[in-house]
């Protein structure tokens, strides 16, 4: 696989202050093809004059990179389909939103491509198909990793949830409290409730909610606990009714755990 390199450089002007946090955010990006881009934080994040509005900010670069990937895949599929593209213009827009914990992330990038062809042009169905293929060939591969702070995540090399495009997969979730200790020892219903609280938080930080869950898996240490656990599942998902599998496992990592849940969600492909 190829490596893609960028050198990012920031330098403090001689005598300029720093500890007061009022330093210039202007910097530069250098690429191996000798291109140099003047960059800065976004004025929407750090006010002018600490940000330079004439420079490219990381949020704009992110939107441009997704749009560029989509365009390059679209051109590939258009050529493969026997069409000749004269021009392609995309006024893409990225939307920043706050997560449940107050941090910001780019929850949505909307592409608005305008394509001009020479000779025969594809019909609406062919255009939609090429854009769909481009979506999955390009920016559909972007992964967002969500952590719950569990001590097991860095040790094992997992994420609480992973979002790729419109698909979100939530890992097996145990009944751990914020302190990393088991919640509801000996109480399968209390443990089930805690697992689903963690899953709800992970989905919200991924930009969705329990409403978009399409499948859950219930893992039990004792199959006789299935009714108590299923009752909690019904409280949470009674109106949503995702596909579900209940199974007994031989044991969990922690012998105090009586239940784990997994969940998969699918949201609007534009989100």
On whether the CB atoms of residues 55 and 128 are closer than 8 A, the answer is no
Task: Supply the pLDDT for residue 201.
Answer: 92
For residue range 76-114, what is the model confidence (pLDDT) as tens digits? 999 999 999 999 999 999 988 876 667 788 878 899 999
Polymer length in residues for the chain:
271
Q: Residue 151 to residues 134, 155, 181, 195, 236: CA-CA distances in angstroms?
A: 38, 7, 10, 15, 26
Q: Check pLDDT > 90 for residue 156.
A: no
Phi-psi region of 270 (alpha: psi -120 to 50; beta: other; left: phi over 0): alpha
pLDDT band at residue 33 using 50, 70 and 90 as cut-offs: confident
Proportion of the chain in helix, strand, coil states, percent, rounded to 5: 30, 30, 40
| Alpha-carbon span 113 to 130, nearest angstrom | 12
Q: Which residues of 28-45 are buried (b: 16+ CB within 10 A; e: fewer)?
A: ebeeeeeeeeebbbbbee
CATH number of 144-266: 3.30.1330.40
Domain residue spans of the chain = 1-56, 59-140, 144-266
How far apart, in whole angstroms, are the C-alpha atoms of residue 222 and residue 180?
A: 23
Plot region of 180 (φ>0 → left; ψ -120 to 50 → alpha; else → beta): left
User: Token digits for 177?
Assistant: 């409290």
DSSP-derived secondary structure letter, 225: G
Residue 143 burial class via C-beta count within 10 angstroms: exposed 0-12, middle 13-18, buried 19 and up: exposed
C-alpha neighbours within 13 Å on the C-beta side of residue 108: 13
Both tokens assigned to 97: 């939103």
For the domain made up of 1-56, give the CATH fold. Answer: GMP Synthetase; Chain A, domain 3 (3.30.300)
User: Where does the pLDDT of residue 269 fall: very low under 50, low under 70, confident under 90, or very high at 90 and above?
Assistant: very low
Binned at pLDDT 50, 70 and 90, residue 41 comes out as very high
> Does CATH place domain 59-140 in 3.40.50.10140?
no
Domain pair 59-140 / 144-266, same fold: no
Q: Would you give the DSSP letter of residue 247? A: E
The answer to whether the CB of 131 falls within 8 A of the CB of 114 is no
């Amino acid at each position: 696989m190829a490596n893609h390199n960028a050198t990012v450089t920031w330098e403090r002007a001689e005598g300029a202050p720093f500890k007061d946090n009022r330093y210039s955010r202007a910097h530069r990006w250098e690429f191996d093809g000798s291109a140099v881009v003047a960059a800065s934080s976004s004025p929407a994040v750090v006010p002018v004059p600490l940000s330079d509005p004439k420079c490219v900010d990381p949020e704009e670069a992110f939107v441009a990179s997704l749009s560029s990937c989509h365009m390059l895949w679209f051109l590939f599929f258009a050529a493969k389909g026997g069409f000749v593209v004269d021009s392609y213009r995309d006024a893409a827009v990225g939307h920043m939103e706050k997560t449940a914990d107050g941090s910001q992330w780019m929850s949505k990038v909307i592409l608005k491509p305008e394509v001009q062809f020479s000779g025969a042009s594809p019909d609406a169905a062919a255009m939609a198909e090429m854009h769909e293929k481009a979506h999955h060939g390009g920016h559909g591969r972007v992964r967002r990793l969500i952590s719950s702070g569990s001590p097991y995540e860095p040790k094992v090399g997992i994420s609480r949830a992973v979002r790729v495009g419109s698909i979100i997969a939530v890992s097996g979730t145990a009944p751990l409290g914020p302190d990393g200790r088991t919640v509801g020892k000996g109480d399968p219903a209390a443990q089930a409730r805690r697992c689903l609280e963690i899953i709800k938080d992970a989905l919200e930080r991924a930009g969705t909610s329990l409403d978009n869950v399409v499948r859950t898996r219930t893992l039990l240490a004792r199959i006789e606990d299935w009714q108590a656990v299923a009752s909690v599942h019904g409280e949470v998902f009674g109106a949503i009714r995702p596909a579900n599998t209940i199974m007994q496992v031989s044991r969990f990592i922690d012998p105090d755990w009586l239940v784990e849940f997994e969940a998969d969600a699918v949201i609007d492909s534009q989100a």
